[in-house]
Structure 1
Amino acid sequence: MLKSTLEAFSDNLFSDKNGQARQAAINGTVELSNLIPPTVSYESRGNLLIIGEQETITTAASQFSELNSVTLLATEKAETEKAENLYFSKEVAVKGYLGAFEVTCRVEGALTDTTANLAKVAIGRNCFDLIVDMTADGVVATEIPAPGYYRVGAGKGKLARVIEELPAMLGTFDKPKYFRLNPDKCAHSSRGVSGCDRCVDACPAGALSSNGHAIEINPYLCQGVGTCAMACPTEAITYALPDPDNTQHFVHRLLTRYQEEGGETPTLLFYGNRDEKTLADTLTKLPTTVIPVALEELATVGVDTWFSALAYGAHQVLLATNTAYIPATIDRVLSEELTIAQTFLSELGYEADRITLFNFADAESFQAFDAPLLSEAKRIEGAKREKLFAVLEMLYDAASQKPACSELPADAPYGSVECQSSDCTLCMSCVAVCPTRALHAVGDRPGLLFIEQDCVQCGMCEKACPEKVIAMKPGLNWDKATRQEVRVIHEEEAACCTSCGKPFAPASMVKMLTEKLQGHSHFQGDAIRRLAMCEDCRVRDVFSKIENDPESQLRV
């Protein structure tokens, strides 16, 4: 539709130099595409459950006669006669997806007052295939319901569309897996300590959850919104349709071709495929310097892609949508990511709206930026954070303001840690749980090292510290060398083994353990002095005593 719109207006509205350059760039740049992605399959036999007030659902039931079966679950009774296959319950729970909806409730009139699987009671199967929810507030609370669940409410227009659509929802359906998950990069949990859960909070479809030690993604519930990948600071979750690298390479080729064709002052406009018709209607109201880029969903790219576009020559990046219709979770995740991006820009003296959310309704009043942020376009490579920091360094070098450090919002995945070194025993619990090795040991002596650029502010070190001396500090150190250097957080003199002389532990830890355990019954006599030995000498000393005095094992 986009190319046809451009071609339709190319002879008049889009006939200027920039309009022609834009059309040449879009026509001449290989479109974003993927190899056939992994898929999941749904199987629907057409067994429908309608939930709502009795009068409402009994009236609607006859409209679905083409389906295999129709079961009615009334949440409010009426004086009318009981319809066929009608059940009553005010306590209803629904989970699942197309072809596999499990509905549990307390069925009034049943022999027992226990929660039952309604599908087994009504149709002799484990689940329903389709659900039409006509309750006022909806039984399922997720903002983006699973495929096969239709939240109709009292809207007659919605019901009419569902009546027309449902007969086609019989058979087997394939849906792509929109994500890739690499548990090795995940900062959610380590050694029983919980950390980052940004992806779980960012999913409006309820597809992500924690099993206590790892993130799980239900591909049947995932609707491909992309906010989980945007929120993930480590690239443990990446979007796959297409992946960010392909998106950024496409943007680079597009902007390069536009400029080679003589185009000037480009503005990049990202939009989701669902808004393609709106964009086509809006494009005539925007300057011909605005270059649209279609995405599967608007939130599938984040701060690294936005800043990469500025490095590739875009004067501004617009995230275009009908802002009134953004689900609350998507709006929140986008806003949080935008706040971080705009904080970076503002701190350097640039206009914050060089990256901004753009409402299609404001097209006629849009004013583009004439000047770029960077004098020379440059292609960026690397991982997500590497690309972002590379562009930030370029912007810093060209900035009018050069702050040393900048504060960021509390939920930002950038920053450092603070350690009250006077109380730190160098037990290395923080090192054991750090998912990125931002915190690590010195190696040859008792010491704790830190690399700020690698810290994603997951908070696991803070929770794992038994002395409670570590705290998160969101922010950004603009000096590249300082941000990337290995910094000593705390180090101290090593305790040397009283037997062999080998350094084996922080002196403060040995002292603390000795003071705490000297009154304990298990650490009397020779036992207490073994705390000042290395692990090898400690074992040798124990067995030496057993050898010299075997009966000591019997004396407790």
Structure 2
Amino acid sequence: MPTLICDCNQTMPLQPKALGAALNENLSLHSALCRREAGAFQKAIQSGDDVVVACTQEKRLFAEVGEQTGGATSVIRFVNIRESGGWSKDAGSAMPKIAALLAAAHLPDAEPVSTVTYKSAGRLLIVGALDKAEEMAALLADALDVTIFAQGVSSTAQAAFPRQERQYPVIGGGDLSLNGWLGAFEAKWTKNNPIDLDLCTRCNACVAVCPEGAIDLSYQVDNNKCTSHRDCVAVCKVAGAIDFNREPQAVTEAFDLVLDLGAQPLIALHAPPQGYFALDVSAGLASPGLLATVVKLRDMVGEFEKPKFFAYKQKLCAHSRNETVGCNACIDICSASAISSEKSRQQIVVNPNLCVGCGACTTVCPTGALTYAYPRASEQGVRLKTLLSTYAKAGGAHATLLLHSQTVGQQAVEALGRAARLQKDMQGVPANVIPLALWHTASVGLDLWLSAIAFGAAQVAVLVTDEEAPAYLEGLAGQMRVAQALLNGLGYAGVHFHLVQTQNASSLDASLQALAKARPVVPASAARFAVAQEKRSTLDMALDHLISHAPAALPEAIELPAGGSPFGSLLVNADSCTLCLSCVSACPAAALQDNPERPQLKFIEKNCVQCGLCATTCPEDAITLQPRLLLTAQRKEARVLNETQPYQCIRCNKPFGTLKAIESMLGKLAGHAMFQGAAADRLKMCGDCRVIDIYSADNELKITDIR
């Protein structure tokens, strides 16, 4: 795969020999690849091989040149080396990082996955003050089929007498609610306005005659002001649009798109559904985001596809058993309300139409029941290993992996690179900080972070901006506490995981410079395992490598933070536990087991995901979670948490329960009128003997009756 590098008019100190050695490729250096040296680009794309161009500044120009080049059949991949390091103050030391970025650009695209399809016919509902809604409708009606849900009028419009021409369908009422997504929104409201907007001619007679001012220019009656003079009814007798005796009517209507101009958004989610836009238009055309929203809406007619970002394996899910909820991590963190509980089916349900692909659910899932599908964890693992191995091969040291989003995060990194070029007091992205763009920063968690450390990273930093929901930050911070506790517990001193929050290039510069100077302890050699799609398998391989290269004597166990730990033990109160074994049937990971031969509760710590289903299910509240990582061989072995003597049937001597459970039952029923005498003795019998004894007693009663 040919690689074309350009020092952008000699503003970057690139070293083609060093880069070529790391990539096993002969590289030639260009200085004006997008201009007078464009012939080299045209020749490369005529080769038929995929071509990597180390420039994103002129991506559009290269694409246009490619279209105009005869015989060009190559796929072109673009990678940013300029703002990512070539313009930094220490750019002369950044060749290992640039080599790593080029090597990652050579990797194939993620394997395709199934897609989610949206279909929009352009039916747009605009909700808000009538005058503001009509102003927005004027910008959109030539491209979309507009309907307005009027919520009064603005104070400015009421005083300024807005235009009366009816250009768009107007509906109104109370209790408006909205659900759905692009192409499938459902609006529900109660049609309770005494004024029928379909019959209203906007003559304003009712507005003028109302003594209370209860009717505004959206032609809706404010019941809080109306005192039933009914002058409006009299003045509207010809049109007949006003009827206070009309019964409220529930209305449901479908729309493809929604523009919400209301003071309180109908959908108050950090990640609202595709096709829903909430906008403050109080500043008119100067309102922030107005023009961008108009452009997006006008373009949302037709059929659209997105990847189905998640994969779900119900058998691994620790959400619920027997309609008892244990783990709610994915539901709690989802900022799009795309995940719901189905306790009756012992699973969660993810609505792919609402899912925005943030991946936060997969990061906090302890079992790997939810996994990120595009790209897959295994594909991200290859990218991590390629970046870090190439960086080390080129002579790089103390690598810090900087994970950021493809949108705002990417813009922040590029802004820092440009600032370093123009401002003397800005350093830029340090030579040992390797940026890696993700669809969303919340999509990568504990398994891949620890794998990155095992592959040779000294630190993993996640760049977060205003686009991340607060729940994402809490989830990432919680996972980082667990990861850091694991490394420190293994003897790797220092801080290896960081959440980098930034508002501007200056603060980002300071944060990255501090990270670049840190020297946490890391494994002496890099791991070679392949990241698996299964989260627990990847965690096991990463931990095995980190344990085998631990720099100090290992403790017996590492205590982990409560909440969010995927590893741990259980503490069972032997005085309370009756060995009913309801926890065994509830455990989704086969961590709890019984013994068919005797009353025992056994536990395999390696399997435990700390979901809490056992503790929630236990009728005696005898189970407590103990987050930790056990480092002895006992972690993989079954051990007995509690055992007791069996209780033997008083009739046949067969064991049928536990001594503690039967004694507890007898104690609770001792004063009950139905369990006295022979009935009490039957509680001490096995199921077979109990039936025989009842049958025998019935026969004796019948013989007595005959006599």
Match status 1:388 vs 2:523: no
Match status 1:5 vs 2:147: no
- Matched residue, 1:41: 117
Distance of aligned partners of 1:136 and 1:399 in 2 relative to their CA distance in 1, 3 Å threshold: farther
Alpha carbons 2:458, 2:519 under 8 Å: kept = yes
Alpha carbons 2:404, 2:436 under 8 Å: kept = yes
Letter of the 2:248 partner, please give it.
D
**Secondary structure in 2 aligned to 1:387?**
helix
2: CA distance between counterparts of 1:538 and 1:171? 70
Which segment drifts farther, 434-443 or 388-397? Answer: 388-397
Which segment drifts farther, 238-247 or 338-347? Answer: 338-347
- Matched residue, 1:124: none
Match status 1:19 vs 2:94: yes
1: CA distance between counterparts of 2:474 and 2:705? 66
Q: What does 1:372-451 correspond to in 2, within 5 Å?
A: 372-380=521-529, 383-392=534-543, 394-395=545-546, 398-399=550-551, 404-451=557-604
- Matched residue, 2:445: 302
- Matched residue, 1:176: 307
Match status 1:57 vs 2:133: yes
Distance of aligned partners of 1:11 and 1:495 in 2 relative to their CA distance in 1, 3 Å threshold: closer
2: CA distance between counterparts of 1:405 and 1:163? 54
Q: What does 1:200-211 correspond to in 2, within 5 Å?
A: 200-211=331-342
Alpha carbons 1:203, 1:227 under 8 Å: kept = yes
**Secondary structure in 2 aligned to 1:467?**
coil
- Matched residue, 1:159: 290
Kindly state the Cα deviation for residue 133 of structure 1 after the two structures are TM-superposed.
0.8
Distance of aligned partners of 1:146 and 1:520 in 2 relative to their CA distance in 1, 3 Å threshold: same
Distance of aligned partners of 1:375 and 1:9 in 2 relative to their CA distance in 1, 3 Å threshold: closer
1: CA distance between counterparts of 2:590 and 2:132? 59
1: CA distance between counterparts of 2:455 and 2:385? 6
2: CA distance between counterparts of 1:498 and 1:9? 80
Distance of aligned partners of 1:211 and 1:153 in 2 relative to their CA distance in 1, 3 Å threshold: farther
2: CA distance between counterparts of 1:457 and 1:73? 49
- Matched residue, 2:351: 218
Structure 1 segments unaligned to the other structure (5+ residues): 120-126
Q: Tell me the alpha carbon deviations over residues 194-217 of structure 1, each in whole angstroms, 9 at most, x when there is no partner.
A: 111110111111111113332111
Kindly state the Cα deviation for residue 11 of structure 1 after the two structures are TM-superposed.
8.1
Alpha carbons 2:338, 2:355 under 8 Å: kept = yes
Alpha carbons 1:451, 1:487 under 8 Å: kept = yes
Q: What does 1:421-500 correspond to in 2, within 5 Å?
A: 421-473=574-626, 475-500=627-652
**Secondary structure in 1 aligned to 2:616?**
helix
- Matched residue, 2:103: 28
Q: TM-score, normalised to structure 1's length?
A: 0.88
- Matched residue, 1:503: 655
**Secondary structure in 2 aligned to 1:157?**
coil
Kindly state the Cα deviation for residue 153 of structure 1 after the two structures are TM-superposed.
1.8
Distance of aligned partners of 1:264 and 1:434 in 2 relative to their CA distance in 1, 3 Å threshold: same
Q: Tell me the alpha carbon deviations over residues 171-215 of structure 1, each in whole angstroms, 9 at most, x when there is no partner.
A: 111121110011111111111211111101111111111133321
Match status 1:95 vs 2:247: no
1: CA distance between counterparts of 2:184 and 2:87? 53
**Secondary structure in 2 aligned to 1:462?**
helix
Structure 2 segments unaligned to the other structure (5+ residues): 1-54, 57-77, 197-245, 421-427
- Measured on the aligned residues, the alpha-carbon RMSD in Å equals 3.1
Which segment drifts farther, 44-53 or 446-455? Answer: 446-455
Distance of aligned partners of 1:8 and 1:415 in 2 relative to their CA distance in 1, 3 Å threshold: closer
Alpha carbons 2:494, 2:519 under 8 Å: kept = no
Match status 1:279 vs 2:413: yes
Match status 1:334 vs 2:471: no
Match status 1:74 vs 2:150: yes
2: CA distance between counterparts of 1:314 and 1:238? 23
Kindly state the Cα deviation for residue 239 of structure 1 after the two structures are TM-superposed.
0.5
The structure that has the greater radius of gyration is 2
- Matched residue, 2:51: none
2: CA distance between counterparts of 1:134 and 1:60? 9
**Secondary structure in 2 aligned to 1:398?**
coil
Match status 1:148 vs 2:148: no
Kindly state the Cα deviation for residue 540 of structure 1 after the two structures are TM-superposed.
4.7
2: CA distance between counterparts of 1:511 and 1:4? 72
1: CA distance between counterparts of 2:446 and 2:266? 35
1: CA distance between counterparts of 2:381 and 2:535? 11
2: CA distance between counterparts of 1:271 and 1:554? 87
Counterpart of 2:388 (choices 244, 255, 261) is 255
Distance of aligned partners of 1:478 and 1:211 in 2 relative to their CA distance in 1, 3 Å threshold: closer
Which segment drifts farther, 202-211 or 276-285? Answer: 276-285
Distance of aligned partners of 1:75 and 1:415 in 2 relative to their CA distance in 1, 3 Å threshold: farther
Q: Tell me the alpha carbon deviations over residues 46-66 of structure 1, each in whole angstroms, 9 at most, x when there is no partner.
A: 111111122211222211122
2: CA distance between counterparts of 1:15 and 1:554? 105
Kindly state the Cα deviation for residue 539 of structure 1 after the two structures are TM-superposed.
4.1
Distance of aligned partners of 1:77 and 1:518 in 2 relative to their CA distance in 1, 3 Å threshold: same
Kindly state the Cα deviation for residue 40 of structure 1 after the two structures are TM-superposed.
1.5
Q: Tell me the alpha carbon deviations over residues 252-275 of structure 1, each in whole angstroms, 9 at most, x when there is no partner.
A: 233122222333332222222223
- Matched residue, 1:112: 247
Kindly state the Cα deviation for residue 12 of structure 1 after the two structures are TM-superposed.
7.9
Distance of aligned partners of 1:11 and 1:272 in 2 relative to their CA distance in 1, 3 Å threshold: closer
Alpha carbons 1:451, 1:486 under 8 Å: kept = yes
Distance of aligned partners of 1:11 and 1:90 in 2 relative to their CA distance in 1, 3 Å threshold: closer
Q: What does 1:282-361 correspond to in 2, within 5 Å?
A: 282-283=416-417, 285-321=428-464, 323-347=465-489, 350=492, 353-359=495-501, 361=505
2: CA distance between counterparts of 1:550 and 1:289? 91
Alpha carbons 1:343, 1:352 under 8 Å: kept = no
Alpha carbons 1:18, 1:262 under 8 Å: kept = no
* Identity between Structure 1 and Structure 2 (%): 32
Which segment drifts farther, 164-173 or 22-31? Answer: 22-31
Kindly state the Cα deviation for residue 38 of structure 1 after the two structures are TM-superposed.
0.8
